Each structure stands twice: as C-alpha cells, then as structure tokens.
Amino acid sequence: MSKSLVIVESPAKAKTINKYLGSDYLVKASMGHVMDLPKKELGVDVEHGFRPTYNAIPARKEVIADLKSAASKANSIYLAADPDREGEAICQHLHELLHSGKRKFHRVLFNEITRDAVRAAFEHPKEIDSHLVNAQQARRILDRLVGYQVSPLLWEKVKRGISAGRVQTVALRLIVEREREIQAFQKKEYWTITALVEGKNPPEFEARLAKYQGKDIEIPDQASADQVTAAIKAATLVVQSVTTKEKRKFPVPPFITSKLQQEAVRKLRFWAKKTMMVAQHLYEGVELPGEGAVGLITYMRTDSTRVAEGALTAVRGYIKEKFGDGYLPDQAIHYKSKKDAQDAHEAIRPTDVLRTPESLRKILGPDEYKLYKLIWQRFVASQMNPAIFDQTTVDIAAGDYTLRATGSVEKFKGFLAVYEEGRDEKEGVEEDEELKRRLPAVAEGERLKLNKLTPEQHFTEPPPRYNEATLVKALEEKGIGRPSTYATILSVIQNREYVEKNQGRFFPTQLGMLVSDMLVKNFSDIFDVAYTARMEEELDEVEEGKLSWTDALEDFYKKFKKELRQAERHMEDIKGEGIPTDVKCEKCGKPMVIRLGRNGPFMACTGYPDCDGTSDLPPALAAKYASASPPAPEVAAENCEKCGKPMAVKRGRFGYFLACTGYPECHNTKKIIIKEGNATAVGDQPLEEKCPECGNHLVIKHGRYGQFTACSNYPKCKYIKRETLGIPCPEKGCTGELMARRTRFKTTFYGCTRYPDCKFTSRDKPVAEPCPNCGSPILVEKFNKKTGETVRRCPNEACTFERAVA
C-alpha cells in the first residue's frame, strides 16, 4: 500500500509533524528552496514579460532525487511549507519538479505545529495560492534586476566584489543619513533647576522649575540660571495646587515579528538574526519528556496581532485561575493590526499557555528559554486589565516662578504583574522615574521649606545612532521590507562591510558612506525611501490579487532602466578618474582626487605616475566621506620598549591598536582590550622557550582571534608555535596533530596542523579514545544544553556509538 508523501522545509519540522500523522504518511524535508534563478546570469527575460528561468539548486541535487523517488511511490503529495510567500514558492517549485498526472497535490497550511492544528490542516487541504507565488516571484525578480545590474557598475566604478541591494541600500541610506545628522549637529546649552523642599509631613521631595509667570521657561546659560536661582531663594514657597487623577497604563498587543526582534534586542541582547533562529526552533519543535517533539510557539513571521478564539479562551482561563477575576477583562481584547498587515497568520504566541516558562526551564536551552519566556509573558499580559496609578502633581509658587513635583502611587498592578515593555532610548525614562516617586501629603496654601536649590548645566544631544531595535523600528515605520526580511537586511549590510557595529550601534564605514552617496545620487527614485515603501505596497497588492505581478515589474523597470543608463554615463569613477576636488597636490600643484584604498578614501594626485603625491582627506571632505567609526579609545601614554619612541593609537581593519610611531623601522604593536569601558594596551609576554628557527625567545601575542605563541623576532622570523591537543590526526596516512582553531566569528573548531594538505575538521572537541564499535581512533565530546549532560560520540557518521561522561 502506497503512502502519502508530505514535504516540509526542515528535518526538525519533519520530525515534529511525523509523529502526528501516523504510518500512512512519509514526511521528508526539502531543506528550503529547491529551485532558484541561475547564479551566473540574470535569468530574467525583461523583453518578454519578465519570464524567469528557474533551475534546480545544485546543492539540493541529492534531496531532489530522494523526493522524486519517494513521490514515484506515493498516490498523494502534501506540500506543507511555511505559510508565507517563500513557503508558497517552495510548494510551487516542488509541484513543478514532482508533477505527474498520476498524483494529486495538496497544499496544507498551519500556523502552529501542534496535533490539532496539523490534523485540521490535513482534513481541509487547499490549493497552492498563485497570488502568493507571484508576490514572491516579483520580489525575487526585483532584487535580481537591481543586484545583477547595479553591482557590476559598482565593480567598475568603485571596488571589485562589492554589491547593491534594492532594500538593503535603503537601510544603509538611513544609517548614513543619521550619521550625517550627528556630524552636522550643534549642541545647545540649557539649564535645569531642581529644588529639594520639605512640608509639614515627611519626607522631603524634589520639585523642578517649570514656568515663569504661567508660561514655560527655558534657561539658556549660567547667568540666567544664577538670576533665577537668586529669585527663588528670595521667594516664599507656597503650595499653589495639588491635583490627583487616576492614570491607567494599558497592555501592549502580543508580538509581531518586528516587535519581537526589537524587544529581544532591548531585553535579551539578541541580534535580529539570532532571534529568528531561536524562534524558528521553538516553532518547529522541541523535544518534551513523554510528548516528543512539540511546536511551542506559532509561526514567527507575521505582522498581524490577531489571536485564535481558542487561544483567547485558554489564556483567559489561565489568568482567572492564576491571578483572579480582578485581572481579567470582561471580554477578550482584540487588537487592531496596522493598515497594511497581512492577516493570514496569528500573532506570535505560545501554542499552549499552560506550558509556562518555568515548566520548560530545565528542558530548553538558555536562549530558547529566554525567548519563550518573553513571548509567553507578552501574550498573557496582552489579555489582562490595565495597571492603575494615582498620579499627583504639586505646583509650588515661588514668586513669579512655578516649581512642579510629580509622583504616583500604584493602586492596581494589572498586566504589570507579568510584563512591561522595554524602551529603545532615554525617551520617557525621566517621566517614568517621576511617576515612581511618592509624594508626602501637602495642602494648597501650605508653606514649604527650601532645603536645597541645584542649578544644573546640560547640552542637547544629537540623535542616537541606530541599534538593531531602532533600525527595525524605523524600517517598519517607513514601510521598508517585511517581517521575513528585517533580519536578512541587517545581516547583509554588515557582511558587505558597509556598516560596523560597536557597543550595539551601527556606524557606516567609509565604503558604506561612499557607496550610499553614489547610489542615492545616481538612482534617486529606486533607492528613495518612499518609493521603496510603495514597492512593498505593490507586492502586497500582488499577494492580494489586486495587481498583476508583471505590471508591478513593468512600472519599476521603466524607471530603473532609465536611471541605470544615466548612472553608467555619469557615476563618478573612483577606480579610474576618482572624485574631483579643489585640493592641490603639495608636491606638484596639480588637482587631487578622492580614491578608495584598502583602508578607505584618500587623496591622490592626478599627475600619477609622474607624481605619487597622496594625503589624508582634509577636514571638510573627511566629514563627508571618512569613516564614522567609533571614537578612538583613551589609553595611557607610553613609549615603545623596543626603540623608545612614543606609541600611538592606530586603527586597522580589525579595530584599534597601539603602534610604535617609529614604523616602518619598528613594528612593535599592542592590542587594545576594552573591558567595562576601560581601555588597556596589552603587549607581548616573554617566555623562556626559544624559537626553533632563529634562537630568539618566544612570546605570547594577542591576535585577532585570541592569544598565540610566536617568535619575538617578528617580522624577520615568522615562526608561530602550534598549540596542539597532543592527539594524532585520525585521517589515514596523515602525520599531523589536532589543534584548536578560531573562526572569524570567534567560535572554536578543531583541525589538523597540516592544513591545507589535510582538511580534517571537527566542531566538537576530539578526545584520544578509540570507538569501541567501529575502531575510530578518536571520539568527540559535546555538551548537551537541553539535558545538561556531556556526551562522547563517534565522529564516524555511519557509527551510532554515544555515551554520557560521568
């Protein structure tokens, strides 16, 4: 008897679904997309309705063969990819690859991977949604048209290997424009005056100057502050009014994708990509004792705040039992989604509210637990009554001036018993502090004693640089990208080295500022924020069946083709002619141009090769084109121990370091380590051991990936000592030893000292213990976060040996 074939994207999802369907179904994973546009050509016929050419992805060759084999034995095929545009496109491509008149295809959709949701989906299968497929295809072609036609232009004019993206360039533009705002910002002085006063009833409390003769007051300088301070000190302080009113603070809706990413940055210090990876795992299924793999949250790519009625009933029952009737609204709260939200999915919530975070604490890994707790708390809080405060405002007359004190008393905790939303910046923090103050009982007409009067100088601050939370928020508010794209956007602009992150903030690099300026100047429409947002709306209209996907592409390509031709003619050629300036070469007097080097923009003489004059950018141009890098760390002044010359802070590809000013005669450098805001220069640490190649002492150096041992006679001697594990390489015939290595992402892996001749690697730590099953010369050791156990297993994929380490 033939089985029905079910195809999902990932093995984890397959494992979870398989246990709900029984023996009549065979569940397999496609490992994501199986078809895509070709890598080495445009793959879009722009002259004939933007017809795309899709090829099977080479890396999926074996997966596709396996799926075809399974499909040939099945009477029905159920396509169960994720319920979004990408998932629908995967289903369409699978249908094209596996299509046969003998087999029926069904599309099954579920918002959560639970027994009831999966079974309901299979009882009521659907057809593939062509509108969703067209929307995904339109986005893919849009991105291909921009990437494959603008990137070569950048290679020709700016630098080989860099690239442009339709949405990512707009995100970069936001970061660069924010940097320019910061550069142009001029701080403004202002003063505040705070009085510490005391009435008949303790305790003393603070009141801040608010008005002069009934109008808001600004104090611009110290002279004005001194004048106001003297007047208040000379005046009699009398309570003018006491106003108490009830204030309610309402809960926020359950998470949508963008809000989850923002809150995970604020509270968990997760970057957007990590948030989505952890959420994907929670969605696809986690092994629970006695239950097997269970999906713990609903689908995590959504911009809808809608919640299923069954989930609302369950959470209301939980709130009533756990907190009592006072915390439960008379009716379930239904939140309104934003105007352009796609309401096909629910908000992100736990699949079962009775699975509390504490009940899963020992089962989930640390990151999974933190994110699940955040999702669970926000969902429960979203269906609770508001918090209630008595807010009191006391106005105090001091002659012509009015001082104001604000405080509050919490009457009812409400949803705050479970959850309170984080904040992005300093906005509202001062207000929150005032609301937390408790004021003593005072009466109108009561005279107060002035205990202290404090004038304080302040300066206005520039807008803060974006962090991941505020950038996602900006993209969402401006309509740039969609829930499934935010994490990718942030990753791409960093991977392309257009921006760098320091202490959580985005700084545009020199390359990023140049590329952004050139693209925005030459493609004024395509990389315009409003235009990109409109394209997102058009893709939504395609998804809804209101707009033809080819019409959307036709309108876009008309503008794009025109701007592309103009850019080919007029874009500045930094690699060739450079960007012209009015600066004259100090050597020969000829005009200088801006060129892009390994370490960023620099000035070069147009008389090259007859004149090799170069220089740094002058201040005016540096402000426009130079890197907006984090400020150099302050390190205690010191002289080079090798030659006696002063050491200076320098910046290289991998950050700041201390270098001898005697370079190139002296190559002495020290790594700068920043810990808790303090910068320390760490030099080489001498060892008694001698270099086997030149006889000089070895030293411990501090490199990009950590400490290593090398010759003190560098660069004349480039010997580096290999720190091995003392375990022979298990590869047959290899004479090397295994050693720990570090990736550029600072993760550890293990490899052979004879690399690249021997390419053995292992993510898990090798142990000098033979496998009792297959005789492999080593085992590998791994810590299981879920169970808290350390296990040793055989690295041979064909061997199943594994045992716990006592």
Torsion (CA) 765, 768, 772, 776 in degrees, nearest 10:
80
From the CB of residue 42, how many other CB atoms can be counted at a distance below 10 Å? 16
* Residues that are catalytic: 299
Angstrom distance (rounded) from CA 227 to CA 404: 19
Burial 269-287, CB ≥16 within 10 A → b, else e: ebbbbbbbebbbbbbbbbe
Q: Radius of gyration (Cα) for the chain, nearest Å?
A: 32
Per the CB < 8 A criterion, the answer to whether 107 and 128 are in contact is yes
Q: Is 650 exposed, middle or buried (0-12, 13-18, 19+ CB in 10 A)?
A: middle
Torsion (CA) 630, 635, 640, 645 in degrees, nearest 10:
80
Angstrom distance (rounded) from CA 128 to CA 135: 13
Residues forming a β-bridge with 697: 690
Angstrom distance (rounded) from CA 455 to CA 177: 35
Using DSSP bridges, classify how beta strands 76-79 and 4-8 pair: parallel, antiparallel or unpaired: parallel
98: nearest Cα among 124, 72, 118: 72
DSSP string, 357-382: HHHHTTTS-HHHHHHHHHHHHHHHHH
- Look up residue 675 and give its amino acid: K
Question: CA dist 332 to 335, 348, 381, 746, Å?
Answer: 10, 17, 12, 47
Terminal alpha carbon distance of the chain: 47
Angstrom distance (rounded) from CA 26 to CA 693: 62
Question: CA dist 776 to 731, 732, 769, 781, 805, Å?
Answer: 10, 11, 9, 14, 18
